[in-house]
A and B are shown apart, each in its own frame.
Chain A
Amino acid sequence: MIEMKAVRFSYGKRSHLFDGLDFSIDTGGVYGLLGKNGAGKTTMLKLAAGLRFPHAGDITLFGHPAYKRRPDALARLAFVPEEVAVPPIRIADFATIYGGYYPRFDAAKMSEYMERFEVPRAGRMDQFSLGQKKKALLALAFASGADLVFLDEPTNGLDIPSKQVFRRMVAESVGDERAFVISTHQVRDVQNLIDPIVILHEGTVVLHVGVNDLLSRVGVKRFPSERDAADGGAIVTQPDIGGVTALVPATPEDATESDTLDLELLFEAAIRNAEALV
């Protein structure tokens, strides 16, 4: 689906944001793209979509150079940016006009998603609230039938029930041939949803690993104190009520207390010492 090889990119004359970035997506999944503010998550998505042009290296989208923005490749890609803008038209016209560009657009599914998100059918879309606009764009992206869906901070502006609906829709829609790339720093919103995890730090992908693979290597464990955690081989710790929670190497003798990952701890570990995780 996407292949990025030795990509170099910078904004203006600043130092390179990416210098030798390699990344690829060739199977379905919910790719969680995590990184600090300014790490280049949005830029990476834009490069992959052909919105930004690399200064060196190659980027292909469905086999074509991404920067060419070929319609047959774009018809298989949906992109919901963090800041959304909608046209001043009714939602029915929006579905007809925008859905018409996607050969596998499903109007019935669009209608279903709008219902689940409780997006109003009446009125012009530019008069919707930020959350309603975002939900309309998410519904279009899900109903487009695109093989690759880029979601940049998708949960920003969504209320709690809508976040739940969003997570359910992603889980239902993902498949072997369909990938979602969710760029976010709201890791709690996508906990237990993303797999694999991709962590971007200082211009490179420091971690790109499946959750099961990771769980076989590390786990979460609670300790009474920082010292105990350190003695227990903690990779990274986080203060907790009455102790600390730590990410520790998984060993057969000492089973960890959780079969899920704490993404905040994992992120912290990845940017401090990614080698300890792989």
Chain B
Amino acid sequence: MKRFLHALRHEALSQARYVPMTAVAVAGSVLLFTAVSWIFNPRPPAFWSQFPFVFVVVSAILTSGVYRELQDEARRIEFLLRPTTHVEKTGAKLLVSLLGYWLVFVAVWTVGALIARGGYAILFGVPWSEAASSALINPSDFPHGGPWDGKVPMAALIFSSSPLELAFRTLLAFVPVHAIYFFGSVYFRRRAFGRTLLSLVVWGISYLLIGVVLTRLVMAPYWTAPGALDGITEEQFLGLLPRFLLNPARTKTVFDIAISTIFYGLAWRRLSETEG
């Protein structure tokens, strides 16, 4: 455990410079875009609404470079011979590139949202409490205890504040995407983001084609004989499917967990097979 914490600290330190800088640069760009949009349409900024898209795209790009030590021979030797297990190396990188990036982005976005709202309040004379309503934790909730009537459990305070709820849901949705780009980073030594994206597109098209062909083969009797589907009700058709597939939310959760587990596992496996 001590060794893992040391590896985690090492990983956090090695990314401490450029991840916050990237987050600030991206948030600054969104702020600038927001300010320019006020020239044409002065309305309260919805700064957090940009968060899911920006976080997923930028974090996927950053995650693609998380194994950059493997790109250079001297750094690869040092990294592979670092006295930690492959699980610890993978775990440290996973935590920093998933939770670490998320925490940095949430912090930067909170400040960005306050600046955007504050700027809007100064320029257009909107009261601060209203301007601050989309900040991470709404200050106006606190004097009267918010919707929890003064008995605010910490978890509810954290996860029920709407921007943070959005950020948390974004994080959950990002996990399978992160797993894929995390694997891409250890698998591809050069241009990992582009290659992973290309692989995903090829993978998607392949599955689509295989699905179409299989469906065509399996359903051939129904398509080749006109009227063969007549009389089959939707209930009868859905009855053929496994029950869990009938609940899309549950199916997606199972799919996300499976994808994440498989790709994180593959990333660990690939690292243990990497030569220096």
Contact with A along B257-276 (1 / 0, CB 8 A): 00000000000000010011
Residues 54-78 of chain B, each 1 if its beta carbon lies under 8 Å from chain A, else 0 = 0000000000000000001111011
Q: Are B13 and A46 in contact (CB under 8 A)?
A: no
Number of interface residues of A (CB under 8 A): 26
Contact A79 B81 (CB under 8 A): yes
Contact with B along A22-53 (1 / 0, CB 8 A): 00000000000000000000000010011111
In the bound assembly, the distance between CA atoms of A77 and B276 in angstroms comes to: 15
Contacts of A7 in B (CB 8 A): none
For residue A210, CB closer than 8 A to chain B, the reply is no
When distances are taken between beta carbons in the complex, the residues of chain A under 8 Å from B85 are 70-71
Known contacts A52-B275, A69-B86, A71-B84; is A97 also within 8 Å of B10 by CB? yes
B80 interfacial by beta-carbon distance below 8 Å: yes
Specify which chain B residues have a CB less than 8 angstroms from the CB of A101 in the assembled complex: 3, 6, 82-84
Residues from chain A with Cβ under 8 Å of B9 in the complex: 97
Q: Does any Cβ of B come within 8 Å of A84's Cβ?
A: yes
Q: Is A87 an interface residue (CB 8 A)?
A: yes
| Chain A residues with CB under 8 A of B3 | 71, 101
Band of interface residues on B: 20 to 34
* B78 and A97 within 8 A (CB): no
Chain B residue contacts of A88, Cβ below 8 A:
17
Known contacts A87-B14, A97-B9, A100-B6; A51/B84 CB under 8 A: no
Say whether A77 contacts B81, CB under 8 Å. Answer: yes
Residues of B within 8 A of A72 (CB): 83
Partner of A83, one of B13, B74, B84: B74
Docked-complex contact A84 and B74, CB < 8 angstroms:
yes
A193 at the interface (CB under 8 A from B): no
Hey, what's the 0/1 contact readout for B236-270 against A, CB within 8 Å counting as 1?
Answer: 00000000000000000000000000000000000
Contact A69 B80 (CB under 8 A): yes
Is A176 interfacial (CB-CB < 8 Å)? no
Any chain B CB within 8 A of the CB of A270?
Answer: no
CA of A52 to CA of B81 in the docked complex: distance in angstroms? 11
The interface centre, meaning the residue of A49, A69, A72, A100 with most chain B CB atoms within 10 A of its CB, is A69
Q: What B residues does A70 contact at CB under 8 A?
A: 85
B84, A52: Cβ atoms closer than 8 Å: no
Point out which of B6, B74, B82, B85 has the most chain A C-beta atoms below 10 A from its C-beta.
B74
B276 near A51 with CB under 8 A, answer: yes
- 8 A Cβ contacts from A171-203 to B: none
A5 to B102, CA, bound (A): 49
Asked whether, in the complex, the Cβ of B275 is within 8 Å of the Cβ of A85, the reply is no
Identify the interface centre among A46, A51, A79, A89: most chain B CB within 10 Å of its CB.
Answer: A51
Query: Taking CB as reference atom, which chain B residue is nearest A100?
Result: B6
Point out the residue from A52, A71, A89, A100 that lies within 8 Å of B276, measured CB to CB.
A52
Neighbouring A residues of B17 by C-beta, 8 Å: 88
* Bound complex: CA A72 to CA B276 (Å): 19
**Residues 71-106 of chain A: 1 if any B CB is under 8 Å from the residue's CB, otherwise 0?**
110110101010111011100010001001110000
User: A125 to nearest B CB, angstroms?
Assistant: 12
Complex CA gap A85/B75 in Å reads: 6
Q: Is the CB of B81 within 8 A of A85?
A: no
A193 to chain B, nearest CB (A): 24
CA distance A87 to B72 in the complex (A): 12
Decide yes or no: A85 and B78 within 8 Å by CB, A52-B275, A71-B83 being known contacts. yes
In the bound complex, do residue A79 and residue B77 qualify as a contact, i.e. CB atoms below 8 Å apart?
A: yes
- Minimum Cβ distance to chain A for residue B7 (Å): 8
Chain B: minimal CB distance from A75 (Å): 4
CA separation between A75 and B74, bound complex, in Å? 18
Contacts of B84 in A (CB 8 A): 71, 101
Residues of A within 8 A of B77 (CB): 46, 51, 79, 81
| A93 contact set on B, CB distance < 8 A | 13
A45–chain B nearest beta-carbon distance, Å? 10
Within 8 A of B (CB), among A48-68: 49-53
Closest A residue to B88 by CB, please name it.
Answer: A71
17 contacts between A and B (CB under 8 A): A46-B77, A51-B77, A51-B80, A51-B81, A51-B276, A69-B81, A69-B272, A71-B85, A74-B81, A74-B82, A74-B83, A79-B78, A79-B81, A81-B77, A85-B75, A89-B13, A101-B84
**A residues near B, CB below 8 A?**
46, 49-53, 69-72, 74-75, 77, 79, 81, 83-85, 87-89, 93, 97, 100-102
Binding site for A on B (CB under 8 A): 3, 6, 9-10, 13-14, 17, 72-75, 77-78, 80-86, 88, 272, 275-276
A-B interface, 10 closest residue pairs, ranked by CB to CB distance from nearest: A51-B276, A85-B74, A74-B83, A75-B83, A71-B83, A101-B83, A85-B75, A83-B74, A81-B77, A100-B6
